[in-house]
């Protein structure tokens, strides 16, 4: 049965709305077994950064649906979720209609975990599957084979307050092709340093004798105890040297030493080089996040 909801755009939701949105997203993730939105959306909410937030409230003022729109002109991208207790009542369709009305042609929408409801709404709006992000997982019960660092390089831990600029510079060169990762700045890195999970000991830097950064493996430990290859960035001139494999092995060793049982990572489905490297060290496909384009 369809239920009337009130849709409101907010640049910065009120504190109670932010709390409701975070609770809604947590409930949706628990129900579906996959996070309904990406980390940047959660960071904008938790740190109450300005953005385009779409709130769907029922007649009692309860938040039953939430959408986030990254409005940048070159790639407007939306992610949204409906509370599990309020699904199949037209809220998802109302959110999707509002997003299409606001952006029109050129709108990108993520369907994390290929959620059936999101797939149906994408088809209804004539959207095509344009990008796939694969999540891989690997057990840490079997240790990764140790890989030596390329000659002249050694590992050290990230030092907060000192290494941010160098990491951002390497990151942006390494991911110049990437829609979200290509234009990081120190502020974006600092936001993540303020997160409860941040641990500089798990942020491994590969440097030469002059302490010049050639690559890094930033690991993450999720609240549920699953590790992540959070960001693996290699200076373009150092790619193909074996540095990537050495950094992967070092990061897996670090996560295993923390007593974790499993590790995940994300890779673009068409990044054949990365996919082969991850599969070679034991990662296997777990689920797919799909970006649809209108």
Are 116 and 240 within one domain?
no
Are 167 and 211 within one domain?
yes
Q: Is residue 293 part of a domain?
A: no
Q: Domain residues for 266?
A: 136-287
Are 86 and 147 within one domain?
no
Are 195 and 160 within one domain?
yes
Q: Which of 126, 159, 176 is the last residue of a domain?
A: 126
Q: Which of 79, 97, 126 is the last residue of a domain?
A: 126
The sign of the CA dihedral 81, 85, 89, 91 is negative
Are 172 and 108 within one domain?
no
Q: Is residue 198 part of a domain?
A: yes
- The token duo for 78 is 């939306």
Are 175 and 116 within one domain?
no
Cα angle 234, 240, 246 (rounded to 5 degrees) comes to: 65
Q: How many CB atoms lie within 10 A of CB 259?
A: 8
Are 97 and 160 within one domain?
no
What is the tally of structural domains in the chain? 2
Q: For residue 14, give the CATH number of its domain.
A: 3.40.630.30
Q: Is residue 294 part of a domain?
A: no
Q: Which of 126, 144, 161 is the last residue of a domain?
A: 126
DSSP-derived letter for residue 196 is T
pLDDT of the chain, 294 residues: tens digit per residue: 567 899 999 999 999 999 999 999 999 999 999 999 999 999 999 988 888 999 999 999 999 999 999 988 789 999 999 999 999 999 999 999 999 999 999 999 999 999 888 899 999 999 999 999 999 999 999 888 889 999 999 999 999 999 999 999 999 999 999 988 998 999 999 999 999 999 999 999 999 999 999 999 999 999 889 999 999 999 999 988 999 999 999 999 999 999 999 999 999 999 998 999 999 999 999 999 999 999
């Amino acid at each position: 049965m369809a239920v009337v909801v009130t849709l409101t755009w907010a640049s910065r939701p009120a504190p109670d709305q932010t709390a409701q949105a975070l609770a809604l997203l947590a409930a949706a993730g628990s129900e579906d077994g996959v996070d309904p939105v990406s980390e940047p959306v959660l960071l904008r909410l938790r740190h109450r950064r300005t953005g385009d937030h779409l709130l769907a409230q029922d007649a009692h003022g309860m938040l039953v649906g939430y959408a986030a729109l990254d409005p940048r002109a070159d790639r407007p991208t939306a992610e949204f979720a409906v509370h599990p207790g309020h699904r199949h009542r037209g809220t998802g369709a109302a959110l999707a209609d509002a997003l299409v009305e606001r952006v029109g042609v050129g709108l990108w929408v993520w369907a994390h975990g290929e959620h059936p409801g999101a797939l149906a709404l994408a088809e209804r709006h004539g959207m095509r599957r344009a990008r796939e992000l694969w999540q891989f997982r690997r057990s840490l019960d079997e240790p990764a084979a140790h890989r030596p660092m390329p000659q002249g390089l050694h590992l050290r831990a990230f030092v907060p307050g000192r290494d941010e600029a160098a990491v951002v510079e390497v990151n942006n060169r390494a991911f110049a092709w990437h829609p979200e990762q290509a234009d990081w700045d120190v502020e974006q890195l600092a936001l993540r340093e303020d997160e409860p999970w941040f641990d500089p000991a798990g942020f491994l830097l590969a440097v030469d004798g002059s302490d010049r950064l050639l690559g890094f493996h930033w690991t993450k430990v999720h609240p549920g105890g699953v590790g992540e290859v959070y960001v693996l960035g290699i200076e373009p001139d150092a790619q193909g040297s074996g540095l990537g494999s050495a950094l992967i092995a070092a990061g897996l060793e670090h996560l295993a030493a923390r007593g974790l049982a499993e590790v995940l990572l994300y890779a673009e489905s068409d990044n054949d080089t990365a996919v082969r490297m991850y599969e070679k060290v034991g990662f296997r496909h777990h689920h797919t996040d799909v970006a649809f384009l209108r």
